[in-house]
Amino acid sequence: MDFSFLSFLNPSFWIKIITIIAIFFYVIFTLVVFTQVKVMGQILSLPHADIILKTISVINIILGISLFLIAIVIL
């Protein structure tokens, strides 16, 4: 008998799935942070700080999406 269909019971499989889900939630969090930075930039008039914060939040989004894609490929 071949029990290869029971591979989903392996703990390492679940650790990989939970890791990918956690990274996905981090990407969602970075999108929320970007939205909050954009709203803050509209409310406050800080010309130089607004550009810097938007740049940092875009870099954070790019890094989060890259991490998610790399995790899918590696895991």
Q: What is the pLDDT of residues 5-39, one digit of tens each?
A: 677 778 888 899 999 999 999 999 999 999 999 99
Task: Work out the mean pLDDT of the chain and round it to a whole number.
Answer: 90
Which helix (DSSP H) or strand (DSSP E) does residue 44 occupy?
none
pTM score over 0.85 = no
Buried b / exposed e over 22-47, threshold 16 CB at 10 Å, is: ebeebbeebeebbeebeeebeeeeee
Q: What CA–CA distance (Å, rounded) separates 15 from 38?
A: 35
Residue 8 DSSP label: G
